[in-house]
Amino acid sequence: MSESVTHADLREVLPGWIAGTWTIDPDHSFVGFTIRRLMGKVHGRFTAFDARVVTEEDPADSTVTATIELASVETGVEMRDDQLRSAAFFDVENTPTMRFSSSSLRYAGENWVLTGDLTIRDITRPVDIDLAFLGIDPNGLTGQTRMGFEGRTTVLRSDFGLSFGLAVEGTKVIVDDRVTITLDVEAVLDT
């Protein structure tokens, strides 16, 4: 946590904050990505994922672990989705999941930065995810305590062995190296 934020300040920064273990609600969460392709962008999402958030009294000690089923990728074009599942991209037959495990959480201005290890195709790289805390509702619509947050990060797919379509010797880039990952998450407090 930033030295400029004290525990007393957290009541204003994180209203309603409570310690506990939370399970992601996949029906009210979104894991997506955007990547430039030729003259436009491709937007996609993953429909099968699981995550656990453990919030601590000191938010900086909180942790997140997540698993995403790569075969669940959807871009709206079946042929492209099949190509993403192939050995040229995710190789879901041999590496069916993408995993994230956090190592630190710090307050940075108006938002938080979650640092951790992202693993794709058995290659692990550190990433920083910019997080915006959306609040905690102790009496959600279903009577469950819910927490919400948004996240965003950009990774280089070449760092994970995903090099199909990158420029070779000055040729045109078919698919950009930078991938923006976006998260919209609702999690439910375990009882």
Which one-letter amino acid corresponds to residue 22? W
pLDDT at 174: 75
pLDDT at 10: 57
pLDDT at 8: 47
Q: Across the 191 residues of the chain, what is the mean pLDDT of every consecutive 10-residue run?
A: 49 82 96 88 96 93 97 96 93 97 91 96 97 89 89 96 66 80 96 67
pLDDT at 191: 67
In this structure, is residue 160 part of a structural domain?
Answer: yes
Q: Which domain holds residue 65?
A: 10-189
pLDDT at 165: 66
Q: Cα–Cα distance between 187 and 133 in angstroms, integer?
A: 12
pLDDT at 168: 53
DSSP tag of 25: -
Q: Cα–Cα distance between 65 and 63 in angstroms, integer?
A: 7
pLDDT at 2: 42
In this structure, is residue 30 part of a structural domain?
Answer: yes
Dihedral sign (CA 104, 107, 109, 112): positive
pLDDT at 109: 79
- Domain containing residue 166: CATH number: 2.40.128.110
In this structure, is residue 81 part of a structural domain?
Answer: yes
In this structure, is residue 173 part of a structural domain?
Answer: yes
Q: Helices marked H in the chain — which ranges?
A: 10-13, 78-85
pLDDT at 143: 83
Q: Cα–Cα distance between 111 and 180 in angstroms, integer?
A: 18
Q: How far is CA 101 from the centre of its chain?
A: 10
In this structure, is residue 43 part of a structural domain?
Answer: yes
Identify the helix (H) or strand (E) that includes residue 119.
strand 111-120
In this structure, is residue 4 part of a structural domain?
Answer: no
Domain count, the chain: 1
The token pair at 104 is 């630190």
pLDDT at 11: 54
Which one-letter amino acid corresponds to residue 188? V
What is the pTM for the complete model shown?
Answer: 0.88
pLDDT at 3: 45
In this structure, is residue 5 part of a structural domain?
Answer: no
The token pair at 171 is 């040729």
Helices (H) and strands (E) in the chain, counts: 2, 11
In this structure, is residue 40 part of a structural domain?
Answer: yes
